[in-house]
Amino acid sequence: MQTRIQKPFVLAAAFALTLFILACGFNISTANIGDAWMATDESGQVRVTSYGQSDVFYAIVDLRNAPDGTSVKTVWTAVRVEGFPANQVIDEAALSARSGLLYFTLTPDSLWPTGEYKVDIYLNDKLDKTLRFEVR
């Protein structure tokens, strides 16, 4: 006796398998970083590109169209700074968030050495923005 598979069943199974593969292979998200800037304080009112040696670094990220659980990470780097090897990572921080303003800070243990710094901002593990600043 020969079993005959019905055509609608095969089509439905193929469609379900295609949806499963697409769901596993792609992360479609509308999340984006609308703006990001360095500031003198947590409110982010005064945008800056340079700091004094005793200042706290504030990076403000405007996360848009992001569902709960969106990953935002900052990697702080001493690019060309006295006493550090070139491009030395000095700190990292990560948040799981949704749309809105996100605040990242880096506080000195002592005085910041003068030089060039940057903070890389990752959205869902992909580099999205780099903010460069200096300490004078």
**Collapsed DSSP state (helix, strand, coil) of residue 134:** strand
**73, 92 contact by CB (below 8 A):** yes
**Predicted model pTM:** 0.78
Average pLDDT on 28-55 reads 94
Q: pLDDT at residue 23 above 80?
A: no
Statement: 31-135 belongs to CATH 1.20.810.10? no
Instruction: Sort strands 88-97 and 50-51 into parallel, antiparallel or unpaired.
Output: unpaired
Query: So where are the chain's domains?
Result: 31-135
Average pLDDT on 45-73 reads 97
| Confidence band for 65, pLDDT divided at 50, 70 and 90 | very high
Average pLDDT, the chain: 87
Partner residues linked to 88 by β-bridges? 78
